[in-house]
Amino acid sequence: MKQKIQIALFVGAMLSGGFNAPLQAATAKKVEQQAVKKAVASAGKNSQVAKKTLASTASKKSPVKSASGNGRKAVLAAAEIPKKTMRRVSFSDVEHGRLALHSASVLVIDQSTGQTLFEKHSDAVLPIASISKLMTAMVVLDAKLDMQEIISIGEEEIDTLKGTRSRIPVGMTMTRETAMLLALMSSENRAAHALGRHFPGGMLAFVKAMNNKARALGMLNSSFEEPTGLSSNNVSTAHDLARMVAAAARYPEIRELSTTASAKVELKGRVKDFNNTNALVRSDSWEIGISKTGYISEAGRCLVMQARVADKPVVIVLLDSNGKMTRVGDANRIKRWMETDSMASERRPV
């Protein structure tokens, strides 16, 4: 009897100790594996959401310009834009303080100090496409022309170089202000060309003024052949464009028109909607003062901005990006990189 009791006690001890330990360990391991799977699934889901979010329209009550083709002044209104959620910092983008960008030529400058924060092939002379339109706008404004004067869109504005289309019909008339709005906001080539053609002295005088302005700004590696950027002979460097963007930021008209989110324009009795070619101007997470996009096959996708990032006024130049969203992705990577570095600086001991 005593021996049976001892055997029972021994079996109980084994169940409570020796056998239960592996069971508890296995259970704990299973729970841990389930937690890891949930975390991976959640991360994957968030990644998919981030990809969709990056391409979605950003949120805020963006100014919408209403402009009439018969010369009536543009009027500001408000429009609701679907809310955009920015994805969190990806350590693959900013790992160990390094910044991986996909644009061929990049320059980021702190305007308050003049310090170069990041550069990549910033002295390469490249076609700049519609970034040229910032120079076009400055030349028009420097001439102090009547912005409410009616100008026409003629057959001269048809693109015979690249064969691009336009939503502005030949024979249309509009104010010079409306033409500048469409050139800067929607990158309308016919509008930009008409601005040059209606310049005192015509197109030759206008192109000469563009190049004189470039030299005055110290853009020594830049050259302009026409006002739209359709010509691949409109060339510059990231350093020169940073000078041009900083200069353009001093014009209130360019700041307003280049960052207008969308506009309703009356064309031959019909109202058409035009949108900004830079989706970032509709983002709540961006504070943009100047914006211009550009694209021709020789130049790739381009983007220049003057913005406030991590509480610093910066100029961002992105040239020759592959893919429609690469330049936007690079701009967001720069922003996250700067904000992450700023937060790290605040945490460093003094």
Contact indicator for 211, 189 with CB cutoff of 8 Å: no
Please state the rounded mean pLDDT for residues 289-302: 97
Q: Which of 158, 227, 224 is nearest to 192 (CA)?
A: 227
CA atoms of 250 and 254, how far apart (whole Å): 8
pLDDT of 137 strictly over 60: yes
Percentage, residues of the chain above pLDDT 90? 66
pLDDT of 167 strictly over 70: yes
Q: Where are the domains of the chain?
A: 1-55, 61-347
Q: Which of 152, 203, 149 is nearest to 177 (CA)?
A: 149
Helix (H, G, I), strand (E, B) or coil at 320: strand
Among 62, 103, 105, 130, which one carries the catalytic annotation?
A: 130
Q: Could you give the count of Cα atoms lying within 13 Å of 156 in the half-sphere of its Cβ?
A: 17
Pull the structure tokens for residue 48: 């998919």
Q: How confident is the model at residue 7 (pLDDT cuts 50, 70, 90)?
A: very low
Report pLDDT digits (tens) over 251-267: 999 999 999 999 999 98
pLDDT of 94 strictly over 50: no
Among 60, 65, 84, 133, which one carries the catalytic annotation?
A: 133
Percentage, residues of the chain above pLDDT 70? 70
CA dihedral (69, 184, 279, 83) in degrees, to 10, reads -50
pLDDT of 268 strictly over 90: no
**What pLDDT shows up at residue 225?**
98
**What pLDDT shows up at residue 342?**
72
Please state the rounded mean pLDDT for residues 120-141: 98
What's the chain's Rg over C-alpha atoms?
28
Contact indicator for 224, 135 with CB cutoff of 8 Å: yes
Q: Which amino acid is at 346?
A: E
Pull the structure tokens for residue 285: 């997470």
Could you tell me where the DSSP H helices lie in 165-302?
176-185, 189-197, 202-216, 238-248, 252-258
CA dihedral (209, 211, 215, 221) in degrees, to 10, reads 170
Pull the structure tokens for residue 287: 């504070």
Question: Per the CATH hierarchy, to which homologous superfamily does domain 61-347 belong?
Answer: DD-peptidase/beta-lactamase superfamily (3.40.710.10)
Q: Kindly report the average pLDDT of the chain as a whole number.
A: 80
Q: How confident is the model at residue 341 (pLDDT cuts 50, 70, 90)?
A: confident
pLDDT of 308 strictly over 70: yes
Please state the rounded mean pLDDT for residues 15-26: 40
CA atoms of 192 and 273, how far apart (whole Å): 18
130 catalytically annotated: yes
Specify the pairing of strand 235-236 against strand 312-321: unpaired
Q: How far is CA 176 from CA 9, 30, 273, in A?
A: 99, 70, 18
pLDDT of 20 strictly over 60: no
DSSP annotation of 328: H
**What pLDDT shows up at residue 324?**
84
Residues belonging to the chain: 350
Among 187, 222, 258, 262, which one carries the catalytic annotation?
A: 187
**What pLDDT shows up at residue 56?**
38
Model's pTM, two decimal places? 0.74
Report pLDDT digits (tens) over 31-83: 444 544 444 344 444 444 333 333 333 333 344 455 554 444 443 333 333 44
- Main-chain dihedrals φ then ψ at residue 256, nearest 5 degrees: -70, -50
Q: How confident is the model at residue 5 (pLDDT cuts 50, 70, 90)?
A: very low
105 catalytically annotated: no
